[in-house]
Amino acid sequence: MRIDIISVVPELLDSPLSHSIVGRARRKGLVEIEVHNLREYGLGPRRNVDDYSYGGDAGMVMMVEPVFNIIRDLKAQREYDEVIYMSPDGEILDQAISNELSLKKNIIILCGHYKGIDHRIREHLVTREISIGNYVVSGGEIPAAILADSLVRLIPGALTDETSALSDSFQDGLLSAPVYTRPAEFNGWKVPEVLLSGNPKLIQAWQDEQALERTRALRPELLK
Ligand code: SAH
What is the secondary structure of 69-122 as a DSSP string?
HHHHHHHHHS--SEEEEEEEEEEEP-HHHHHHHTT-SEEEEEPP-TT-B-HHHH
Of 58-72, 79-93, 125-139, 152-166, the one with minimum mean pLDDT is 152-166
* Residues with a CB atom less than 6 Å from ligand 1: 86-89, 111-113, 115-116, 131-133, 135-137, 139-140, 143
pTM attached to this predicted model: 0.95
Ligand 1 center from residue 69 Cα (angstroms): 22
- The residue to mutate among 7, 49, 87, having the most atoms of ligand 1 within 8 angstroms of its beta carbon, is 87
The pLDDT score that the predictor gives to residue 161 is 77
Name which residue leads in pLDDT, 32 or 224.
32
Local structure of 208: helix, strand or coil: helix
**Which residues are CB-contacts of 113 (< 8 A; sequence separation ≥ 6)?**
7, 8, 9, 50, 62, 138, 139, 140
- The residue to mutate among 62, 91, 137, 138, having the most atoms of ligand 1 within 8 angstroms of its beta carbon, is 137
Q: Which CATH class is domain 169-223?
A: mainly alpha
Q: Taking residues 111-130, report their average pLDDT.
A: 97
**Ligand 1 atom 20 nearest Cα:** 88
pLDDT tops 80 at residue 162: no
**Ligand 1 atom 1 nearest Cα:** 115
Q: What is the pLDDT of residues 61-98, one digit of tens each?
A: 999 999 999 999 999 999 999 999 999 999 999 999 99
pLDDT tops 90 at residue 197: yes
Q: Taking residues 2-19, report their average pLDDT.
A: 98
pLDDT tops 90 at residue 202: yes
The pLDDT score that the predictor gives to residue 171 is 84
Confidence of residue 172 (pLDDT cuts 50, 70, 90): confident
The pLDDT score that the predictor gives to residue 216 is 98
Ligand 1 center from residue 50 Cα (angstroms): 15
- What number does the ligand 1 atom closest to the CA of 139 have? 11
Ligand 1 center from residue 123 Cα (angstroms): 16
In DSSP terms, which residues pair with 107 in a beta bridge? 3, 82
CATH number of 2-152: 3.40.1280.10
pLDDT above 70 covers a percentage of the chain that reads 99
pLDDT above 90 covers a percentage of the chain that reads 92
* Domain boundaries along the sequence of the chain: 2-152, 169-223
Q: Taking residues 116-133, report their average pLDDT.
A: 98
What is d(CA 137, CA 149) in angstroms, rounded to the nearest whole number?
18
- Domains 2-152 and 169-223 are alike in CATH topology: no
- Of 142, 169, 67, 157, nearest to 108 (Cα)? 67
